[in-house]
Each structure stands twice: as structure tokens, then as C-alpha cells.
Amino acid sequence: MKRLLFVFITAVIFIIFSPSAKAASYESLLILNEPKDNLMTTSDSIVVSGETLPDASISVLVNGSSKARLSVGAAGIFLIQVPLSGKENIITVRAVFPSGTKETVSRRVYKIDSGSEWPELDSLIQTIRTFLILK
């Protein structure tokens, strides 16, 4: 009986302190809703929106250059429009929480200058459609 109890307690301790249990219990404190990763746009600016802890401080960077700083209110929601600076843009959102903890999320956004680049995309879509119909 004592041996069974020892095995049970050892198993419980192993489960509680295992790395996978710790990783599974971690949740992101910064959720970036927009922009989606690998977004393609013809616009000169992009909307950045998301959710985080109340009273957090948010910095938005485009290709490493700071474009906006804002404080999040009690709802924890933020929304801002920032300019794009080139054809390929890395949008980085950094949050600093009241506890001092920091978190960063990045997305890649492509700015398409002219309609001349879109036919390649249309051609790719048509090829995929043809492939799906033939299967």
C-alpha cells in the first residue's frame, strides 16, 4: 500500500513539474488580430489591432522604426493605423505590462505598388483551381 502511494505521489509531482505541463499552461498576454501574417495590400498604411492586459503600454514598429506608442485602457483593446515604409514590412507590436513583463508579436505585410504584379497572383490562383478541378 505504501509503495502504491509513493508511486502515485511521484507521478503527480512529475506531471505538475514537467516542462510540457508548464508550456501548456502559458497563454499569450498579447493577441494581434490585425494585420494577418503575409498580408498583401496596395494601401500606404495598415490597421494594427489587438487585445492585451488592461493598462499595458504598446509600441508599434514598422521595419524596426517606431511609428506609434499608446496606452491600453481598462478593456485591453488597441487599434491604430500606421504607415508602411516599403514593399516588405515587418510590423512589430511590443507590449509592456504593469507587472514589468514584456511580450512581442510580429507580422509580415507586403505593399504592392502597381496592378502589374497582380496577374502573377491571378495566374497562380487559376493554376490551383485547374489542379483542384482535375483531381
Q: Where are the beta strands (DSSP E) in 6-128?
A: 30-34, 39-41, 45-52, 57-62, 65-71, 77-83, 88-96, 102-111
Residue 50, CB-side half-sphere exposure with 13 Å CA sphere: 28
Residues 81, 68, 29, 92, CA torsion sign = positive
pLDDT digits (tens, 9 = 90+) for 91-119: 999 999 888 889 999 999 998 876 545 55
pTM: 0.64
All domains of the chain, ordered by start, with CATH?
29-114 (2.60.40.10)
pLDDT digits (tens, 9 = 90+) for 57-91: 999 999 988 888 988 888 888 899 999 888 889 99
